[in-house]
Structure 1
């Protein structure tokens, strides 16, 4: 990971991505989110219509993701924070646990991602992801 600016909201964003990479689910993941959290995943190769999730749906998606991805990593290239906003430039790499499209279990997927977080009371209130999958399905 690139050296990132020293800012408490960036530190939260990094810890959150590290927890996701480590497979955090349930309370281990929920601790990063405000009870009113909303995640907007903009349309991409896996979700052509995008998705909007509340906290319960975020946690459910993390559980389902454990069945699809056996390991993952986030390489944060850049981070900017101002006020309660954090913007991240990230390369995500994941190894499939099951076949997906033309990919076999064990194949690696990669996406270039822009993530925008709004922080309230030291936790994530909202997240917007722009996921650009480099891997062809």
Structure 2
């Protein structure tokens, strides 16, 4: 007997696959495939982006390529995930290892952040992403 997955289960799977792709250094078409053509990514103000950031799909994909040059590695540890309909909320602990110096930090330094990510999906793709990134002191 085959059981079909719910919309929520499918969306959580997409969200997890998206984070694994980011972890693996996905750029270009591989990353773009996660986003709906109308995607809007909103990063709320934080230590790295004090004014916050608002990006469309193309800008988000371009920024990922830039980020790949800054980070040797990054990990997303999902602490909790809740889905309702087309919305997925994730509580994530992020660690990024610098590939180059950043401000007063040396290459190899590990940055850590506690992140809440809210994804809205349409047609199996991310149409909206809101990030609340809380970086640990450095």
Band of TM-score, shorter chain: over 0.9
* Residue 53 (structure 2) pairs with residue 62 (structure 1): no
Which residue number corresponds to residue 98 of structure 1? Answer: 100
Which residue number corresponds to residue 51 of structure 2? Answer: 49
Unaligned runs of 5+ in 1: 1-5
Root-mean-square deviation (CA), in Å?
0.9
Following superposition, the deviation at residue 73 of structure 1 comes to: 0.4
Which residue number corresponds to residue 15 of structure 1? Answer: 17
Q: Number of residues paired by the alignment?
A: 131
- Aligned counterparts of 1:30 and 1:40: Cα–Cα separation in 2: 16
Q: TM-score, normalised by structure 1?
A: 0.93
Following superposition, the deviation at residue 19 of structure 1 comes to: 0.2
Unaligned runs of 5+ in 2: 1-7
Judge conservation of contact 1:9–1:119 (CA < 8 Å) in 2: yes
- The alignment partner of 2:58 has SS state of helix
Could you report, residue by residue, the CA deviation over 1:13-56 in whole angstroms, capped at 9, with x for unpaired residues? 00000000000000000110101101000000000000000011
Could you report, residue by residue, the CA deviation over 1:62-94 in whole angstroms, capped at 9, with x for unpaired residues? 010011111000000000000110000000001
